Amino acid sequence: MNSGDRLEPFHQISLGETAKYLRGTSAAPAWDTYFFYRHGTRLDDHAERCPQTLSALEAMPLTRIREHAPESLYSILRPGTEILPHRGVTNTRLVVHLPLIIPDDCALVVGGEKRVWEEGRVLIFDDTFEHEAWNRSHQTRVVLIADVWNPYLHEAEQAALADLIAAIGDFNQDCGIK
């Protein structure tokens, strides 16, 4: 993490778009990532460098959709960075946060309810509710994030959704839509 050579900005936000997603309270805002799965593809070099993390992820009911999911990563929020309010696109999955390094004055608000991360204590939420986060400390915050299927979905529903979403992705790609 200190070298930063394998980190990338979350969502590859360009400098001109940063203001839509991030705000800096004391320095240039930065929300970096270290992906294990990105758009459903396992990043083998990252997985090999963190075998215990990968083992923990593989034990979870990760959302698996061809070319879309899972998404799993270390979310690295630099000091003085605020992630502005936003929403996810579907409640067919839930977002799991495992806080790893949590300095004081870091929090998450989901649906208007503030939650303070506690190292080692899992927090799970539906990100279709408006949510935001911040690190107002002077240290880096690190959370392991993974998407899992909503537990209210049966296996047949999960399979149908995975097929549907993959087919929509294929259609969009064939039509030149991102």
pLDDT for the residue numbered 14? 47
Q: Residue 1 falls within a domain, yes or no?
A: no
- Round the average pLDDT of the chain to a whole number and report it: 89
Q: Using CA atoms, how far apart are residues 90 and 127, in angstroms rounded to an integer?
A: 8
Q: Give residue 146's domain range.
A: 19-174
Beta-bridge mates of residue 142 = 76, 101
Residues forming a β-bridge with 101: 142
Give me the CATH number covering residue 70: 2.60.120.330
Q: What is the mean pLDDT of residues 132-160?
A: 96
To which residue do tokens 């149908």 refer? 160
Work out how many domains the chain is built from and give that number: 1
Higher pLDDT, 18 or 155: 155
The reported pTM is 0.88
Does residue 62 belong to any structural domain of this protein? yes
Contact between residue 18 and residue 10 where contact means Cβ atoms under 8 Å apart = no
The confidence score (pLDDT) of residue 92 equals 95
- Checking 151-154 for CB contacts under 8 A at 24+ apart, the result is 151/94, 153/92
- What local confidence, expressed as pLDDT, does residue 27 receive? 66
Q: For the sheet containing 106-110, what is the strand order?
A: 22-24, 81-86, 131-135, 106-110, 113-115
Residue 123 has pLDDT above 80, yes or no: yes
What band does 127 get if pLDDT is binned at 50, 70 and 90?
Answer: very high
Q: Is residue 6 part of a domain?
A: no
- Rounded to 5 degrees, φ, ψ at 82 are -120, 130
